[in-house]
Amino acid sequence: MSEPLTEPVTVPRVVASPAALEAISRLVAQRGPVMFFQSGGCCDGSLPMCFDDGEFIVGDHDVLLGTVGGWPFYMDGRQFEVWRHTQLMLDVGEGAPEGFSLPAGANRHFVVTSRVFGPDELAALDEDPRGRRRGTSERSR
C-alpha cells in the first residue's frame, strides 16, 4: 500500500475536488504516502479520515472504493452496503479536523459530499437504485 494505485475505473465511486487533490499533494510532499478511511457513527462520524499510509489497519471486510490523487480510499464493508448507490466527492472544509484525521492544510479538514448515481451509472456498477443489495448484508445485521 505504499505505492499509489493505478486501477482503471469507468464509474468511480469516489472522486476528489481540485482543493482536495491540492491538499493531498501538499500532505504527501510533507509526510509521504497517505490513506483515507470513511468514518461513521458519533461526533465527527461521516467524515473521511486521512492517515499516514499504513497507520490504520485495513481489515479483510473493508472495501477499497477507489483512489484519490492516487491514494487508496476505504470504507467498512458493512457501511458500504448502505452507501453503495452514492458517489462520494472528497473535498476540503473550513476548520481543523475534530478526530484523529490529518488536516487538509492549516485549519482545514477533509469532507465528503455524496451524489446518488444516475440510472446509467447504477447499471454500469450493477447497483440497485434503492441502495444496498438485499441478501448481501444480512451477515452483519
Partner 1 sequence: MTLTKDEVTTESASATEVFIAPGQVGSIVEVKPRYENFIGGAWVPPTRGRYMANVSPVNGRPFCEVAESTPEDIELALDAAHRAKDAWGETSLTERAAVLNRIADTIEANLEMLAVTETWENGKPVRETLAADIPLAVDHFRYFAGATRSLEGRSTEIDKDTVAYHFHEPLGVVGQIIPFNFPLLMAAWKIAPALAAGNCTVVKPASPTPWSILKLAEVIGDLVPPGVLNIVTGPGGEIGKALASSPRIAKIGFTGETTTGRLIMQYAAQNIIPSTVELGGKSPNVFFPDVMDEDDEFLDKAIEGLVLYAFNKGEVCTCPSRALIHESIYDRFMERCLGRIRRIRQGNPLDPATMIGPQVSTQQIEKIVSYVDIGRQEGAECLIGGRRAHLGGDLEAGYYFEPTVLKGHNDMRVFQEEIFGPVLAVTTFTDEADALAIANDTLYGLGAGVWTRNGNLAYRMGRAIKAGRVWTNCYHLYPAGAAFGGYKISGVGRENHQMMLEHYSQTKNLLVSYSTKPLGFF
Residues in contact with partner 1 by the rule CB under 8 A: 37-47, 49, 55-57, 76, 78-79, 82-83, 86, 93-103, 109, 111-116, 130-132, 140-141
Residue 1 or 96 having the CB closest to partner 1? 96
Task: Find the shortest distance in angstroms from Cβ 38 to partner 1.
Answer: 8
Residue 6 or 134 having the CB closest to partner 1? 134
Task: Find the shortest distance in angstroms from Cβ 24 to partner 1.
Answer: 16
Q: In what order do the strands lie in the sheet with 71-76?
A: 48-52, 34-38, 71-76, 62-68
Residue 25 or 114 having the CB closest to partner 1? 114
Given the C-alpha cell 482536495, which residue does it identify?
Answer: 20
Task: Find the shortest distance in angstroms from Cβ 27 to partner 1.
Answer: 12
Give which of 87, 90, 82 is closest to 18, Cα–Cα: 90
Q: Three cell numbers at 90?
A: 472528497
Given the C-alpha cell 464493508, which residue does it identify?
Answer: 77
Between β-strands 48-52 and 71-76, what pairing exists: parallel, antiparallel or unpaired? unpaired
> Counting Cβ atoms within 10 Å, is residue 41 exposed (0-12), middle (13-18) or buried (19+)?
exposed
Residue 8 or 121 having the CB closest to partner 1? 121
Cα 95 to Cα 99: distance, rounded to the nearest angstrom: 12
Task: Find the shortest distance in angstroms from Cβ 106 to partner 1.
Answer: 11
Residue 27 or 67 having the CB closest to partner 1? 27
Task: Find the shortest distance in angstroms from Cβ 1 to partner 1.
Answer: 15
